[in-house]
Structure formats: C-alpha cells, structure tokens
Structure 1
C-alpha cells in the first residue's frame, strides 16, 4: 500500500489489492489506450484527465467505468480490468475510487461529451504533468505515477 498527499494535500491511500477499502466504491477512474496511444478527455474546468466519475445508484463500479469512458470520450471498450483502489480522506469527506485499465476498440463521435470536450489522444504522458496547467488535479498525484507503472508493465507484456 502507498500513502501520500494529493494535489490538495489530502491523505491518499492506494492499494493494488482486491478492493481493500470498499466492495462498492462510489467513484471510478479509467486509464485508457486506443491504437497505442493514451486516451484522455478534456474536462471543461479541470483540463486533461483520464475518464471517470461517479457510480450511479444501482450500478456496479465496472459498469460505471464503461459508461464514463463512452460518455466522456466516445470510447467503446474492448477490454477492461481492475487495477487498484484508492481512498482519499479529504476536507469534504472521503472518496473511494476504483482504477481500471481499458483498451478501446473504437471511438464513436458523440453529440455530447457531458462535462468534457471529448477525446484527446497522446503518444506519452509528459513527465512534468504535476507542473503542467493543461492537466487536471486528478493527474497530479502519485495515483497516476503508481498506476501507470502497473499498467505499462502489464500492457508491454501483451505487445508483440
């Protein structure tokens, strides 16, 4: 387990174990790849980030992840897997979020990308994300660093 502070100095606990904080988390975050590029979305207020959001009533977290990817990027998921879970003890309460890794089969153009401006593809995630104002605060803590390490290792095993 990793413990660190997020962008707003809240304590974060990140684990790659099977749902260590909750079997029914209320938030999801999906690290996406499409055609060998990272697939992000541009949130209208926060900037560039991987898609994610709240789990709706009666919805399972993985189903929420699939829905959020489609809503925010138009991405149709080919495969999705649970990576880990993190717990944020914030000023406004606690947040428990599942992290998934998804490979996208295709991008379907949407009339509406909800609170985002739609898909953004990147060859690489810049090393200076934490200092880059184009990126959301969600991308500026060690959740991204640790999850990318796990995902990149797993993804490179599949590549020919």
Structure 2
C-alpha cells in the first residue's frame, strides 16, 4: 500500500491489489498506453488527464470505464484489466478503481461530453506538459503509470 498527500492536501491510499478497501467503488479511471502514447483527455477546467468518472446505476465498474472513455475521448476500449484501487480521504471520501485495456476503435467524430477530446502523449511529452490536471502530478499517478507499463495485454 502506498500512502501520500494529494495536491489538495487529502490523504490518498493506493493499492495494486483487488478489494483492499471495504467502501463502495463508484469512480473509475482508465490508464492506457497505445502504440507508445498515453490515452488522455482535455478537461475544460482541470487540464489534461486520464479519462474516467462516476459509475452510473446500474452499470458495472467495467461498463463505466468503457462509457467514460468513449464519452471523453471518442475511443472505444475492451479487454479491461483492473490495475489499482485508491481512496481519497477528502470531505466526502471515495474509492476509484483504475483499469487499463486495449483499443477497439478510435472515432474521429464522436460527440464528446465534458471534455475537449482525445490527447495522445508519449512519456516525455506527458512528463513535461505544463497544463496537466492536478491529480496527474502526484506520486500515485506515477506509480500507476509504471504498473500499467509492466502489464502485457
């Protein structure tokens, strides 16, 4: 288990094991690398980040990850693998499940929601990009990216 403080000053606990946290998992994040580039989205307010969001009833975590990625990037994903879980101990604590997977289709004209669309970056570009979302800058995201790189899909 990795514990750290995020950029908002909240304690975060990250694990690469499944079902370590007893609280409901109702948020998802997709951290996926395709042909040497990370799949990202440009959120209108926060900046560039991995796609993700809240689970809508009655969908599963996997269904939410697929839907959120499609809505935010126009990219359809499959073969999801759970990479990590983390809890943010903020004013309203929540647990997020992190997935990776593979790409089925890249839609160039998909109607996007909440974002300005897909952004592809290699490691160097991502590490030096000045307008990253705040949660892309903490040690948890670094650990998650490293873990995704070790998985073979």
Which segments of 5 or more consecutive residues in structure 2 lack a partner in the other structure?
A: none
Instruction: Give the superposition deviation at 1:113.
Output: 1.2
1:29-80 CA deviation, whole Å, 9 max, x = no partner? Answer: 0002233311100001000000000001211111100101111111111421
More moved, 34-43 vs 119-128:
119-128
Distance 1:57 1:108 in 2: 26
Distance 1:11 1:152 in 2: 25
* Paired position in structure 2 for 1:154: 151
- Tell whether 2:148 aligns with 1:145: no
> Contact (CA 8 Å) 1:33, 1:104: kept in 2 or not?
no
Distance 1:89 1:82 in 2: 21
> Contact (CA 8 Å) 2:77, 2:101: kept in 1 or not?
yes
Q: Figure out how many residues of one structure are paired with residues of the other and give that number.
A: 152
- Tell whether 2:70 aligns with 1:70: yes
> Contact (CA 8 Å) 1:52, 1:68: kept in 2 or not?
yes
* Paired position in structure 2 for 1:122: 121
Structure-1-length-normalised TM-score: 0.87
Distance 2:25 2:118 in 1: 25
* Paired position in structure 1 for 2:5: 5
* Paired position in structure 2 for 1:93: 92
Distance 2:110 2:77 in 1: 19
Distance 2:73 2:33 in 1: 12
Question: Which consecutive aligned stretches of 4+ in structure 1 deviate over 6 angstroms post-superposition?
Answer: none
Distance 1:114 1:70 in 2: 9
Distance 2:7 2:37 in 1: 25
